[in-house]
Chains A and B, each alone.
Chain A
């Protein structure tokens, strides 16, 4: 797995024309010729722009009924698809929607491969934006030559 990933990155980086990752729907995309040196400011995704992930999306049964667990986890995904241009990078500040919730981790929901996670942290990586007390900062970069879409994902936790 690690070698496969390394090989894929190597192929992308050296611009091999023969590199053709499998993608849903068939076809392939060449690697991006240039890579953004900075983030495209995606802005903030507030609680009203998130919805709880479905069971099939979270693939975890019983997530909403943890029994005696003192920590309740809820998985959220953004309502809107975000588009990243070839070689571009996009950073979002995501807020947990409910009072008392804190983010545990962020994630990326992408229909096709080509977007790589380049930031996932509780702190803002941008000096332009201070860290929000209830936010997670998730960023992806498109390493292909095609526009790709994704939905930011966040796992939030609260005490029972």
Chain B
């Protein structure tokens, strides 16, 4: 693990040195224009149920501790949406994400291979309707002039 971390840091340094100045060296390179406008209307968020989520890193997710830890201790579960969503320039994508039964959301997030999707809502409450039990409300807005993709991320706590 340490070795890999060093490699990443080394790669960063090399990338920076290669450009002379540490400014916008980037994975994927290039630059895009900002969106010409932003749509600030929010549509009804589609629900992403437990069936539409996949568990991340199952074996590593439970919290570890000493031998005296209670078997009733809480565990963390990380989920990511099976589907990858595309957001058009200037538009937002609002999603209601539900933890599986007997789990509660701790936080939401986004996994985006390219920057440009601003997190514009991340809350336990529904900002535009009824709040469902076990749900998290995540929204991103595309502030660039090109379509971008993302996967919803959700951290749940259960036993």
Contact = CB atoms under 8 A, between A and B. Distances in A.
Interface of A: 2-3, 5-7, 9-10, 12-15, 31-44, 46, 70-71, 85, 87-89, 91, 93, 95, 99-102, 104-106, 116-123, 125-134, 137, 139, 141, 143, 157-160
Contacts of B114: 37-39
Contacts of A71: 63, 73-74, 157
B49 to A, nearest CB: 19
Interface in B120-144: 120-122, 127, 141, 143-144
Contacts of B40: 2-3, 6-7, 9-10
Interface of B is mostly: loop
A120 B109 contact: yes
Given A36-B115, A89-B26, A6 B38 contact: yes
Contacts of A31: 34
Contacts of A15: 34
A120 B63 contact: no
A128 B31 CA distance: 19
Contacts of B66: 100
Interface of B: 1, 4-5, 8-9, 11-12, 15, 22-38, 40, 42, 56-57, 60-61, 63-66, 69-70, 72-74, 76, 78, 80, 90, 106-107, 109-122, 127, 141, 143-144, 146, 151, 153, 155, 157
A14 B36 contact: yes
A100 B65 contact: yes
B24 A41 contact: no
Given A37-B30, A125-B111, A160-B73, A10 B63 contact: no
B26 A38 contact: yes
A69 to B, nearest CB: 9
B8 A41 contact: yes
Contact of B36 (A13, A93, A126): A13
16 contacts: A2-B40, A6-B38, A9-B141, A12-B34, A13-B37, A34-B32, A37-B26, A38-B29, A42-B12, A116-B143, A118-B116, A119-B110, A125-B113, A133-B1, A133-B57, A157-B63
